[in-house]
Chain A
Amino acid sequence: MTHWLGELIERQQVLVILGSGGVGKTTLAAAIALQGALRGRRTLVLTIDPARRLAGALGLEELTVERQRVPLEGLVPGTAVKGELWALMLDAPRTFDALVARYASSDEAKERILHHRLYRHMVDALAGSHDLAALEKLHELLDEGGYDLVVLDTPPKEHAFDFLDAPSRLLALVSQARLGWLLRPMAGLGEPHRGGGLRMLPTRLILRTLSRFTGADVLRDLATLTLALLDLSAGFRDRVARVAGLLQSPDCSFLVATMPDPFTVSEAQGQRDKLLGSSLPFAGFLVNRCQRVPQHAPSADEDLEQLAEQLARQPEVAEIVPPSRLQPLLVRLGQGLSLLRELAEQERQAIARLRGQAEDESPLLAIPELDEEIHSVSQLLRFGTLLV
């Protein structure tokens, strides 16, 4: 039986995993990428903020900014894995610096930016610069060619708009038309007034007001940096447009990873809505860490004491644990199960909300919470089989 996620893994060129913090995006991305390799595809997973344990789970010392090949020999007994799995970690600041270096019109322009007092801070502070770096890296990797599938992990974001707005917001920031009128006077703050007349009045008023807040020095520094960034705008704009085009192509799919609690589900709904609003290909939800109530668990209204009594007396178990101890033990286990059932019910409701109504029902995969953390490739493989 082909499952919708399995089909995506077989067909798509890019899978982007979005989601709030703590849902398990990076592990999901790695597990999905591994499934790609098992299907004979040359796959790469680009991770953000990976745990040390994940490196181990991929059979690597550590994840680095250089891509590494994940050893897959002997993973599936009796079969040679035909695909390949590569892994790398994103270094957002470095990628951003490379972006600047690539699109600056001259070495001098590049230095003016990279060595500006406020550059590092601005990049750190600017919502979306890390997301933009991830997209930039993705573009680089696809340009390099040779990958059948790239799985992109993303920075944890409660608010989807950050990731998807990032390119256009940054573009707006460095766009000539919008800021020039404000920045040039700012950059000239503190210097003798340079004409302008009545037309400049509102601008000067704005500047004076702003500098009452921030001080003139700050404005001047920011203005000089932003003006320097304007230098990037032509090539940068092109690049951003191409990356955006990439995301909207039919070869790309977005998955929203979430957990089945009400808060995270609300965030996931917002993330999906944002994708749809931006005409980006939303393919479904991955609901991670779900409770699993065993199939033959006693039902909620069953008399636990009686059932425990009945089960404890069966000869083949009575010899392992005497009924006098087994009965209360089973009652206790039953109580534990009913706790799990409460949680499972909450999750069921959250998942129903997520799935939505009949017509625009979203594809959704509920993934059980694992008892143990993933430490090896075979555990990652086993997790992956739960997905497809």
Chain B
Amino acid sequence: MIRFFDRRFVIVMGKGGVGKSTVSAAIALAAARQGKKVLVCELKTAERMSRLFGSPPVGMEIGPVAEGIEAVVMTPESALREVALLKLRLKTLYRLTFENRVVSDFLRSVPGLPELLLLGKAYYHEQELDRSGRPRWDMVVVDAPATGHGIPFLRIPQVILDLFGESPITSEARQIRDLLQDERRTSLNLVTLPEELPTAEVLALKHQVDSLLHIPTGFLFVNQVLLPLLDEEQAADLDRLRERFPPRADARLKALVDAGCSWCRRMRQQRPYIDRLSRQGEMPTILLPRLFYRDFGRDAVSDLAGYLFRAVGDGELRAVGDGEAEA
């Protein structure tokens, strides 16, 4: 089996708001620290990598965000422009066709075409060689669009193959589908939160991935996991204190006890979902802790990358989350 960090096409998927971008950044940093050259493709989102790494924005041209890590924001329009210019050598012809407002509106309505273009551009970079004939990047991380609406992103190549007759688009779709299903090159990773909706959705997504898509999976990342603040004895003491709390005790004491109980309650709230994900996810699960940084930037990503790297290890199944919260 190919190690997680040796797979070249690492896709990160999940519902909106679960933390795909932070996980993508952490994967990229963990890989870069092993000496790999990484490209992060941000699909259809506002630019985030540069903000997370504290570097100048990169926009739609590939640019560096950290040592060993480059990023690019991709939109269907920019992908279409590049593909069209590549294939249609004449700029005038391109302008006549693709920059025609009506035509571009129409193209946007072609089911799956915008998404295919995005996948195609990411795929192109996975294949890309530098001047000496070596792969330009060792890893392409795809921060995928939020799941939950529209045609499921990764179904697009197959949908196109089912719907359209033989054409350049279908042959492109076929190549992309083959890359997606190649377990030597691709890993599909899912991100979720230990809450109701994200958990339900990620389990449904996993089922679909296995039964329909046959895309090799990597890890299931559970984000924002609250690590225990207290050990067992302390937790028991806190409980006792809460139960028998003296009515006229110092307000500051009450504040401390309340905050502690709140933490414990939230942790307990998460537990059933974490268990369910580990049991039903049928994927090695990695718990990523909730971090408490005033500015969630380079340092926070670095922390996460550390957790991630230790958890992934040699590709063995080890779940982080048994340690205590670090203050």
Cβ-closest chain A residue relative to B248 = A316
Q: Is A358 an interface residue (CB 8 A)?
A: no
B209 located at the interface, meaning its Cβ lies under 8 Å from any Cβ of chain A in the complex: no
Give min CB distance, A18 to chain B, whole Å: 13
How far, in whole Å, are A372 and B270 apart by their CA atoms in the complex? 9
Number of interface residues of A (CB under 8 A): 83
Q: Is B111 a contact partner of A122 (Cβ separation < 8 A)? A: yes
Given contacts A20-B17, A21-B148, A215-B170, contact A226 B93 (CB under 8 A): no
**B residues 141-179 in Cβ contact with A at 8 Å:** 146, 148-151, 159, 163-170
Query: Once the chains bind, are A124 and B151 in contact (CB under 8 Å)?
Result: yes
Contact, CB under 8 Å: A346 / B167: no
Q: Which listed segment binds B: A1-9, A202-210, A230-238, A278-286? A: A202-210
Across the interface, do B249 and A317 meet the contact criterion of CB distance under 8 Å? yes
Residues of chain B from 216 to 241 with CB closer than 8 A to chain A in the complex: 229-230, 233-234, 237-238, 240-241
Q: Given the complex, which residues of A lie within 8 Å of B233, measured CB to CB?
A: 325
Q: How far is the CB of A347 from chain B (nearest CB, A)?
A: 10
- Chain B interface residue count: which class? 35 or more
B325 to A22, Cβ gap below 8 A?
Answer: no
Q: Which residues of B contact A336 (CB under 8 A)?
A: 229, 259-260, 263, 325, 327
Chain A residues with CB under 8 A of B254: 294, 296
Contacting residues of chain B (90-125) with chain A, CB-CB under 8 angstroms: 93, 96-97, 100, 102-103, 105-106, 108-114
Stretch of B2-10, B129-137, B291-299, B313-321 that contacts chain A: B291-299
A37 to chain B, nearest CB (A): 24
A303-335 near B? 1/0 per residue, CB < 8 Å: 000010001001011001100011011101111
User: Judging by beta carbons under 8 Å apart, are B257 and A371 in contact?
Assistant: no
Of the stretches A82-90, A97-105, A257-265, A376-384, the one at the interface is: A257-265
Q: How far is the CB of B24 from chain A (nearest CB, A)?
A: 13
Shortest CB-to-CB span from A299 to chain B, Å, is: 10
User: B200 interface residue, CB < 8 Å from A?
Assistant: yes
Q: What are 12 contact pairs spanning A and B, CB under 8 A? A: A21-B148, A22-B193, A52-B200, A130-B149, A158-B16, A205-B96, A214-B113, A259-B17, A295-B251, A332-B229, A337-B259, A342-B294
Q: Other CB < 8 Å A-B pairs besides A311-B252, A333-B259, 5 of them? A: A118-B163, A320-B241, A332-B327, A335-B327, A343-B292
B-binding residues in A (CB < 8 A) = 20-23, 49, 51-53, 117-118, 121-122, 124-127, 130, 155-156, 158, 169, 172-173, 178-179, 182, 202, 205-206, 209-218, 222, 226, 259, 261-264, 266-267, 270, 293-298, 307, 311, 314, 316-317, 320-321, 325-326, 328-330, 332-340, 342-343, 345-346, 371-373
Top 3 nearest A-B pairs (CB, nearest first) are A21-B16, A22-B17, A215-B167
